């Protein structure tokens, strides 16, 4: 799937905020294709991917219409991606990833499925590589919280720290991971 890159400007954002149907259609089609590829590689069912995509659209459009909105039109794509990541994180934390695999994916276009699998595999490799570069304690913290979903009080007891300090350690570990992941994604 090849998607032509679109340059967003202030006039586009203004049309989107004012509810211009043609601009909204373009916005949902343009980002819909990109989000579909991303979400299908990270969620177990097409229905979950569609829910996450729609939730992302609702949140982005709501934020645009709030006072202040997006300051730089050129950052719209990054903003949509960040909102999508946050929606995914909420779904993961809510247990969405434990849903059974649906038969819907068996009916997908195999070319798109192969591309999605390739992208997902590359991202997974980058995540593993970024995690491998972190100090052991940071790796453990991220694994315990985001993969094993361990209780924070249990982690605090194991490390002999209080919840406030755990928050600081997690913040640092996430920032270090983000930096390493971004470096590998260049």
pTM of the model: 0.49
d(CA 129, CA 143): 14
Contact 142, 177 (CB under 8 A): yes
CA 177/CA 88 separation, integer angstroms: 18
| Tokens of residue 34, six digits | 């990109």
Boundary of a domain, candidates 80, 108, 136: 108
Judgement on whether residues 77 and 15 belong to the same structural domain of the protein: yes
Are residues 98 and 45 both part of a single domain?
yes
In this structure, what CATH number is given to the domain that contains residue 135? 1.10.10.10
User: Residue 26's Cα: distance from chain center in Å?
Assistant: 21
Judgement on whether residues 7 and 91 belong to the same structural domain of the protein: yes
4 and 24 co-located in one domain: yes
Residue pLDDT, tens place only, 50-97: 889 999 988 888 888 886 677 777 788 888 888 999 888 888 776 544
Q: What is the rounded CA–CA span in Å between residue 35 and residue 38? A: 5
- Highest mean pLDDT among 42-46, 71-75, 108-112, 173-177 belongs to 173-177
Which residues, 6+ apart, have CB-to-CB distance to 172 below 8 Å? 138
Residue where a domain stops, chosen among 108, 133, 159: 108
Per the model's pLDDT, the better-predicted residue between 40 and 111 turns out to be 40
Q: Which residues contact 141 (CB under 8 A, 6 or more apart)?
A: 155, 166, 169, 170, 173
**Count of structural domains within the chain:** 2
Q: In CATH, what number is assigned to the domain containing residue 59?
A: 1.10.1740
Both 75 and 89 in one domain: the answer is yes
Coil, helix or strand at residue 49: helix
Same domain assignment for residues 91 and 172: no
């Amino acid at each position: 799937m090849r998607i032509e890159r679109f340059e967003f400007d202030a006039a586009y954002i203004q049309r989107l905020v004012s509810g211009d149907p043609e601009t909204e259609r373009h916005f949902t089609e343009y980002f819909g294709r990109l989000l579909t590829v991303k979400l299908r590689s990270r969620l177990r069912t097409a229905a979950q991917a569609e829910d996450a995509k729609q939730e992302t659209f609702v949140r982005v459009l709501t934020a645009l219409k709030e006072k202040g909105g997006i300051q730089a039109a050129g950052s719209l794509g990054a903003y949509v991606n960040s909102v999508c990541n946050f929606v995914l994180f909420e779904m993961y934390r809510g247990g969405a990833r434990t849903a059974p695999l649906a038969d819907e994916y068996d009916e997908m276009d195999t070319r798109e499925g192969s591309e999605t699998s390739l992208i997902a595999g590359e991202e997974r490799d980058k995540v593993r590589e970024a995690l491998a570069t972190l100090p052991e304690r940071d790796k453990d913290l991220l694994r315990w919280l985001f993969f094993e979903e361990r209780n924070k009080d249990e982690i605090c007891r194991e490390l002999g720290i209080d919840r406030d300090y755990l928050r600081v350690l997690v913040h640092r570990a996430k920032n270090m991971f983000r930096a390493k992941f971004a470096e590998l994604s260049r």
